[in-house]
Amino acid sequence: MIYVGTNYHPHDWPKSRWPEDIDLMKEAGFNLVRLGHLCWDSFEPSEGYYTFEWFDEVMQLFNDAGMKVVLDIATRPSPTWLHKKYPEIDLVDRNGNRLPAVHRYMEDVGNPMFQEYAFRFAEAITKRYAEHPALYAFGLCNEVGSGMPSFSTEARKRYVQWLRRKYDSIEQLNKAWASHRWSRSLNSFEDAEFPVAGALNGAPERMLDMWRFFSDEQLAYLHGLSQIVRKYAPNARESTNHWGEHPGYGFDYLKEYGNIFDLPGIGFYPGVNPEDRNALFGACFGMIHRIGELDKPIWCLEFQTGSFGAYAPPKGSLRMYAYLSLLFRAEAVCAWTWRSMLGGEEQYLFGLLDHDGRPGRKLDEYRRFAHEMEILKDVGLPYMPQPEVALAYSFESFKVSENQKGYYKTAYIEQMMQTFLAINSDNVDCNMVNLRNIEKNYKLLIVPGHCMMDEATAQSIRQFVEQGGTVVMTAYSAKVDEHNRVFDTSLPGRLSDVFGIRANAFERPIYHHSDVNEGGLQKKKMDLRREHPKIRIGNENLEITIDYYEILEPDTAEILASFTNLEMELPAITVNAYGKGKAVYVAIPAQIDLMNKLLNQFYVQLDIQKGPETPMGVTARRIGEYVMYVNTTSLEQSVTLSGSGKGLTTDRIYESSLQLAPYEVEVCQMNI
């Protein structure tokens, strides 16, 4: 069953409007609503004074309408009264300035006083609605991971205690942080500071530990909310649209997700321009990250309707987005938001209804999708594949590369997205894995730009290859250890023998520019290219832009592809037999064209089944005897079929091909 619905904010609208909105939702075929988010003080307007009675009526109305409710435990933003009573929960910026709570998400989630009140409220709302017949799940707050960390004195004390638990002695901490460098040794744990001052960042070792600390605090907070739900509402599911991937904050989701989240959730925001492939498939990337290795579908607790100042994506895109999410294992599509808001920070983020409360074309697209889900109820949705390909993701590697952009010129997330796009171009399913703890069996493991390599991660890769798996690792990988210190051994660190190479040296074919003034006049950023390397793989020469390549020195490895158009040919891709498996190293950061060529070789060698053949821009998956095709482009596309088929929502008969209009979808029952 697929759930289709919307986010609704009853506290924004007159009580007399509620039945009218619910009738419109029912007419549209909606069976789900998300409630309660972003309104703590509507439930608790002052300390300890709860006003749940108005919401009891809302819950009853949705129950009478036969709609299921995801009830958010709205602990962020916290109420003004809480900030005024305990200003220590306010955020403090990198300059040490306290920030008044003038925007959302301006509370320190690790602060004990904030957590005391948040958990007290969570307990109250959970107890009240635990057995309500309309309730399906509780949401563990809204977008935890967004906002910014707090650098307050109180937060620094928690950080010091975190360091004490992590490191047994100050000597171990000094060694891990290379504190002898530039006379920064610590005499006690109390000497430790957050490694930020104004716009300046401290040493990379300290920066990594700081982000680990903030990550652990957010995970602990989510775990606390989860425990409250499990204690007081054991029959309810729990989910959340957290933002672990937030570029400025975030947390290490894969580290603890199996212990916290019963039902993976996300806010699905591909943007209003489907032509932006990184944004479009970045939303799908987030879904696969949230699922991890769970054998569970994902709930899109928020789903694009419009944007800030944009009424909607192009006509047909919203329905297309909904079908695309189904191919990446969605079970629920919940529009953000029902009605465009009249005030507040999102007053021009457009919903399904206009500001005057009247439906527009967007509701028509959601209505069509909802009614089609009834037609497709026997297809076998939600789609739940068993992938043979694993894609490794590392929060820590992301933070390492972001902090050291002078070296990691290709962003870690860009390598991840280029690899994900290459996988999706062949309509292949993958799982996102935490390399320290791979839970399932895979034939192929892809590790793009995994710059931090601790012992547990290295051992996991080594064991995967020893037991017969094939691993593909790309440039910038295994450069630093768990303390963010560069290895003093042959690279890739801890895995040089597995890959059978040494990869310490590198070249930049383009002019290198650093923001750091290296002891003289400020360097100019110039548009120069010193070399024009190409890659020969098999009998094909790939002309792709190469801004960085590593000098690979094969030991036991064989050369699979070479750099040409240089003074001498150099290895571009190597493959090494190790144990029962193979270890492949790519000397440049992941690029879609190269990764596509390389992965296709190993799909054949490893007998990995690719998805349906489609033209570029059409995503498809086989679901039993059915194939779902989604045209993500603004162009008409022609898809070649392997047999005859019938469109389930169109009743069209297809013999050898089908035409897809821009942003159109088709679900074919094949070989009729």
Q: Distance between the two ends of the chain, CA-based, in angstroms?
A: 24
Give residue 540's identity as a one-letter amino acid code: E
What is the secondary structure of 237-294 as a DSSP string? Answer: EEE----TT-TTS---HHHHHHHH-SS-EEEE---S-TT-HHHHHHHHHHHHHHHTT-
Strand bridging mode 626-631 / 665-670: antiparallel
Cα diameter, the chain: 78
Ranges of the chain with pLDDT below 70: 520-521, 672
| CA proximity to 292, closest of 393, 210, 368 | 393
pLDDT at 174: 98
Alpha helices in 430-563 (DSSP H): 455-466, 496-499
Q: How many CB atoms lie within 10 A of CB 162?
A: 20
DSSP 87: G
Enumerate domains of the chain plus CATH numbers: 3-149+217-375 (3.20.20.80), 389-514+521-605 (3.40.50.880), 618-670 (2.60.40.1180)
**Collapsed DSSP state (helix, strand, coil) of residue 669:** strand
Distance CA 645, CA 665 (A): 14
Element of type H or E holding 626:
strand 626-631
pLDDT at 516: 76
The rounded Cα 657 to chain-centroid distance in angstroms is 35
Residue 522: how many CA atoms within 13 Å on its side-chain side?
3
Burial (CB < 10 A; 0-12, 13-18, 19+), residue 305, is buried
Element of type H or E holding 597:
helix 592-605
pLDDT at 525: 78
pLDDT at 672: 64
**Collapsed DSSP state (helix, strand, coil) of residue 405:** coil
Strand bridging mode 618-623 / 626-631: antiparallel
